[in-house]
Amino acid sequence: MGAAIGKTGFMRDYSKIYIDGTWVPSDGTGTIEVINAGTEQVMGSIPEGVPSDVDKAVAAARRAFDSWASTPVEERQKYMVRLNEALQARSAEIAEVISGEVGMPNTWSNMIQAGLPAGNMQSYATLLDNFEFEEEIGNSLVVKEPVGVVGAITPWNYPLHQIICKLGGALAAGCTFVLKPSEVAPLNAFILAEIIDEVGLPDGVFNMVTGTGPVVGEAIAAHPDIDMVSFTGSTRAGKRVAAVAAGTVKRVALELGGKSANIILDDADFEAVIPKGIFACYLNSGQTCTAHTRMLVPNSRYDEAVAIAAAAAGAMQVDDPSKEGMHLGPLISQAQYDRVQSYIQKGVDEGAVIAAGGLGKPEGHEVGYFVKPTVLANVTNDMTVAQEEIFGPVLVVIGYDDDDDAVRIANDSLYGLSGGVWSGDQDRAIAVARRMRTGAVDVNGGGFNIAAPFGGYKQSGYGRENGPYGIEEFLQTKSLQL
């Protein structure tokens, strides 16, 4: 079995979708072009799927479910280990493809866009060594069973990573899977499907239908034979998924937007930590749901903080994503570029001051969706740029009076996905972090942990991914009274 793939240089044209262990034509007749973020040229195409494709994929997943759910944990684990090995073997190719699709420079793409998915699949596999699928509570035996057929709708910013966050947990739990990857950055998902085909995952356990959210995504969310839908994307789209899924009372997990606050306490080393805060905002050119886009600094040191932030932003290099290096690449699309430009203008219109960057493209980068790394000062938390997710390299700097005021401002948001606290006193930083209404907080630069639960409070969604929590998400409990 193999995909009908035509490759001319970097061009990847995929003409089939993956259902029941076979590459098959879509019932739809349309195609979707994939655009290279750095060159603005077409780099591939995919089928534009239709609801009948989803019906076939769900039927295959339903047929495969009982067998996969009853497969011994050790056997499921072996498949997952092989998937990790195959992902590693094609990591350079995956990084190159995602660098083109998304715009993340190749150096970062190798580490993050290719490295994290493989690491996460292995993490899920390793967790099965000791994961408890049953426990005794009094006279009851409580068993944890796979929720069933999972429909996954994934985003474009960390495309393969977000697929594996869901797929790894679902496979470990014993669920079967129907994927709709982002139509903006889908080529990496075809590489994954090729890998799954080569590894020999049983037919129907993994299925993939490509297409748009309003067509394929909607069909997945509404499908009566899908037991759970797991969605990562914008809050607006997540609300629609939840509303459509409610018609069949299926389980829903949502990982949505963020407007994360990074609190710099007055005893922090500003020269050392503010540039790190810039990085926490600008990674992947700001196209990160957990980006620390609101920097909260003491009013007593506001001008000093803005000057350091502006200097750090001004030192950020912007360049071709195909080049090696630690620079920033472009945004993913013209639509995203226009969105970010409109937010910068909105900030100025509402009284913010451009301390670094600003409107337009960086000099020498007229081709590609490049944006100037930007810092907006004189921002208050009621401004649009402080409340809405921009999804670009735009940092807003907000002043606060004391620790209580910083916490109040941090929590004054519809979102609650991530955040940060910096202090010369670790205990003080932890105390502030505990008061932040958000799913994760980096304390003094604590590193990302793929085994820790990931998910949000408030309109950043519900449900958790990664680690044992990422397996639990795809399980339901049954009690047997003995």
- List alpha helices for 332-425, DSSP H: 334-349, 384-387, 403-411
Catalytic residue, candidates 175, 194, 289, 389: 289
Give just the sign of the alpha carbon dihedral 102, 39, 33, 100.
Answer: negative
Angstrom CA distances, 225 to 17, 24, 53, 148, 467, stand at 20, 21, 14, 9, 27
Radius of gyration over every alpha carbon of the chain, rounded to an integer in angstroms: 22
Give just the sign of the alpha carbon dihedral 221, 227, 231, 237.
Answer: positive
Rounded CA-CA distance 192/176 in Å is 16
Q: Pairing between strand 415-416 and 442-443? A: unpaired
Residue 176 half-sphere exposure toward CB, CA atoms < 13 A: 30
Please, which residues bridge with residue 229 across strands? 151, 252
Rounded CA-CA distance 84/123 in Å is 9
| Structure tokens that stand for 73 in this block | 């944990």
Phi/psi at 223 (nearest 5 deg)?
-65, 125
Q: Pairing between strand 419-422 and 176-180? A: unpaired
Query: What dihedral do alpha carbons 287, 290, 294, 297 form, nearest 10°?
Result: -130
Please indicate whether residue 175 is annotated as part of the active site.
no
Please indicate whether residue 289 is annotated as part of the active site.
yes
- φ/ψ region of 361 (left if φ > 0, alpha if ψ in -120 to 50, else beta) reads beta
Phi/psi at 300 (nearest 5 deg)?
-65, -20
- φ/ψ region of 9 (left if φ > 0, alpha if ψ in -120 to 50, else beta) reads left
Catalytic residue, candidates 101, 194, 218, 255: 255
Report the greatest alpha carbon distance in the chain. 73
Rounded CA-CA distance 163/171 in Å is 12
Q: Where are the beta strands (DSSP E) in 261-320?
A: 261-264, 294-298
Residue 248 half-sphere exposure toward CB, CA atoms < 13 A: 18
| Structure tokens that stand for 332 in this block | 């993913």
| Structure tokens that stand for 423 in this block | 């202090």
Reduced to 3 states, what is the DSSP secondary structure of residue 414?
Answer: coil
Nearest Cα residue to 209 out of 424, 51, 425, 64: 51
The catalytic residues are 255, 289
